[in-house]
Amino acid sequence: MIACNCWLFISPGFHYSAYAKNIPPKPVNPKISNSCSEQSLETLTTQLMLDLPSYTNRVIQRARILNRSVDTFSYILVAGKPEFEPLPLNPSIDNGDKYNAEGVKQVFFTTLERTYIHKKPVELQEFHRLFLTKTNIGWTVVMMFTQDGSYPVKPPIAPPRNSSNGAIAQGVKLWLRDCQAGSVR
């Protein structure tokens, strides 16, 4: 009985547990700038490749439709080492010539992904050409093209497709956003 009476006196405090001390924000030091915008493309994309699988997997999971009878989706296992030698694009692709603009840099990388079909793992390799440009706030995605292939690679590889709005491009955009905000270590 005593424990019940004590509970009556203590429990009302739990309803107001959100009492918070107002802490004024610290002023921003203009001398400290965003390290993301100051990094070279090589340094930036090397860091990006380490985080890209987790960023892309979150994009994929958010896009899943959970009430489907057949739920097939991929997991990105790893992103390969980026390469910076520009590659020519297929002239049949309508790209608006965005990738040829001044200041646009090309990054080539691969991803290895796994999907399950009839409860059996199938590994796929994708080949990506990412086009970035540096703005006053940092690097931004111009466009991206992807080719799909099997793993290990066997011809034929699918022709390039515009993947600028795909899961991996969204993962890149989210990572760049977080990098510009200073939340990527």
Q: What is the pLDDT of residues 136-162, one digit of tens each?
A: 888 999 999 999 888 887 777 788 999
Q: What is the pLDDT of residues 64-101, one digit of tens each?
A: 776 666 667 789 999 999 999 887 665 555 555 555 56
Domain annotation covers residue 10 = no
Domain annotation covers residue 166 = yes
Work out the average pLDDT over 107-119: 92
CA atoms of 3 and 48, how far apart (whole Å):
56
Strands, DSSP E only, in the chain?
74-79, 104-117, 120-135, 138-150, 161-162
Domain annotation covers residue 18 = no
Domain annotation covers residue 107 = yes
pLDDT band at residue 41 using 50, 70 and 90 as cut-offs:
very high
Beta bridge partners of 112: 78, 125
Domain annotation covers residue 11 = no
Q: Which domain holds residue 161?
A: 34-60+72-89+96-181
pLDDT more than 70, % of the chain: 70
Sheet (strand 138-150) strand order: 74-79, 104-117, 120-135, 138-150, 161-162
- Count CB neighbours of 132 within 10 A: 23
CA atoms of 163 and 144, how far apart (whole Å):
5
Domain annotation covers residue 66 = no
Structural domain tally of the chain?
1
pLDDT at 62 over 50: yes
Domain annotation covers residue 25 = no
Asked whether the whole model's pTM tops 0.75, one would answer: no
Alpha-helical segments (H) within the chain? 2-10, 35-38, 41-63, 167-181
CA-to-CA dists, residue 163 to 18, 35, 84, angstroms? 45, 28, 19
Length of the chain: 185
Work out the average pLDDT over 17-31: 46
Domain annotation covers residue 106 = yes
